[in-house]
Amino acid sequence: MSTSKLAILGGIPVRDTKLNPWPKWPVWDQHEADALLQVLHSGIWSYNGPFETEFNHRFSEYIGCKHTISCVNGTVTLQLILEALGIGWGDEVIVPGLTWQATAAAVIDVNATPVLVDVLESNWCIDPQQIEAAITPRTRAIIPVHLYGSFANMDRILELARKHQLFVIEDCAHKHGGEWNGQKAGSIGIAGSFSFQLSKILTSGEGGAITTNDHQLAEKLDALRNCGRRPEHSLNDQADKGAGQYEDEGNFIQSGNYRITEFQAAILLEGLQRLPSQNEKRDKNGIYLNKLLSELNGIQPMYRDPKETKESYFNFAFRYEQEHFRDLPVSIFRKALEAELGVQVDSCYTPLNQCDLYQPHTKPSRHHLNDQYWEKINPENYSLPICEKIFHQNAICFHHKILMGDQSEMDLIATAIGKIYEQADVLSECEIE
pLDDT of residue 430: 78
Q: At what angle do helices 262-294 and 407-422 cross, to 10 degrees?
A: 50
pLDDT of residue 428: 84
According to DSSP, the β-strands at 139-142 and 167-171 are: parallel
Residues 288-318: pLDDT tens digits? 999 999 999 999 999 999 999 999 999 999 9
**Residue 2 belongs to a domain:** no
- What 3-state DSSP class applies to 39? helix
Among 262-271, 334-343, 366-375, 420-429, whose mean pLDDT is lowest?
Answer: 420-429
pLDDT of residue 238: 43
Q: What is the mean pLDDT of residues 91-96?
A: 98
Q: Strand runs (DSSP E) across 46-112, as ranges?
A: 67-71, 92-96
Residue 171, beta-bridge partner list: 145, 193
CATH number at residue 48: 3.40.640.10
**Residue 7 belongs to a domain:** no
Residues 160-190: pLDDT tens digits? 999 999 999 999 999 999 999 999 999 999 9
In this model, does residue 413 exceed pLDDT 90?
yes
In the predicted model, what is the mean pLDDT of the chain?
94
Q: What is the mean pLDDT of residues 200-210?
A: 98
| Confidence category of residue 429, pLDDT binned at 50, 70, 90 | confident
Q: What is the mean pLDDT of residues 356-385?
A: 97
Among 14-18, 281-285, 381-385, whose mean pLDDT is lowest?
Answer: 14-18
**Residue 77 belongs to a domain:** yes
Residues 108-136: pLDDT tens digits? 999 999 999 999 999 999 999 999 999 99
**Residue 374 belongs to a domain:** no
Our count of domains for the chain comes to 1
Residues 211-254: pLDDT tens digits? 999 999 999 999 999 999 876 554 544 444 343 333 444 567 89
**Residue 37 belongs to a domain:** yes
**Residue 319 belongs to a domain:** no
Q: Bigger pLDDT: 152 or 232?
A: 152
pLDDT of residue 319: 98
pLDDT of residue 252: 75
According to DSSP, the β-strands at 299-301 and 316-320 are: antiparallel
CA angle (39, 42, 43) in 5-degree steps? 95
**Residue 149 belongs to a domain:** yes
Domain that holds residue 65: 30-118+125-270
Residues above pLDDT 70, as percent of the chain: 94
In this model, does residue 192 exceed pLDDT 50?
yes
229 phi-psi bin (left φ>0, alpha ψ -120 to 50, beta other):
beta
Q: Bigger pLDDT: 52 or 248?
A: 52
pTM above 0.85, yes or no: yes
**Residue 360 belongs to a domain:** no
**Helix residue spans in 295-423 (DSSP H):** 330-341, 364-367, 371-376, 385-389, 407-422
Residues 24-45: pLDDT tens digits? 999 999 999 999 999 999 999 9
pLDDT of residue 251: 65
